[in-house]
Amino acid sequence: MQRLRTWNERFRTRDSKERNLKQALGEIERMASALGLPENVRETASVIYRRALDENLLPGRSIEGVATAALYTAARQASIPRSLDEIERVSRVDRMELTRTYRYIIRELNLEVKPAAPESYIPRFVSDLDLSDEVERRARDLIEAARGDGILSGKSPVGLAAAAVYAAALLCNEKVTQNDVSDVADISEVTIRNRYKELLEAGDVVTA
């Protein structure tokens, strides 16, 4: 009887893990699709989730929270990050749970995640706004000049990227409004206005 009970417990545990994994992978697929993330990011997120499950990191945390943290981590590792605002909008958990779970997962799994650079957001913003390659190049130049002037520190990379794209479009005489950029980047027009003026000042040599 003891042996039967042991086997029964093993089957129950395995079935529970399989259900858990199926639900999590469904969540990752749903969110990745909504965010336009490629297959390699989805696969990496799935691997991260499986590791968290295998290492028993789920107790006390929701399946949705760990799945969201895994996808956020995978996107950053692939250098095609999505902002917390974007992630929160498609997730079933709030930002507090997401950030808390994200920090826990990368610490416990010893994952290396570099800070998101403003440049990593620029191609997507340019593409979504249907702007030219020249705008993308100019936006990168503005960010690089600002980095040289030391004004990037402490500022949101999403806001800087959005402002750089807006400023670059103006310099290239391509029509785009602050509202257009705000919608694509999911940040306020006030942030864009504040940042783009700083970028133009820093990029004086580049944009002359």
pLDDT tens for each residue of 44-92: 999 999 999 999 999 999 999 999 999 999 999 999 999 999 999 999 9
Q: In the chain, where are the structural domains located?
A: 2-108, 118-207
CATH superfamily membership of 2-108 = Cyclin-like (1.10.472.10)
Q: Which CATH architecture has domain 118-207?
A: Orthogonal Bundle (1.10)
Distance (Å, whole) CA 156 – CA 178: 17
pTM reported for the whole predicted model? 0.81
Domains 2-108 and 118-207 alike in fold: yes
Q: Which two tokens stand for residue 36?
A: 């336009």
Residue 141's nearest CA partner among 99, 171, 97, 111 is 171
Query: Residue 154: what pLDDT?
Result: 86
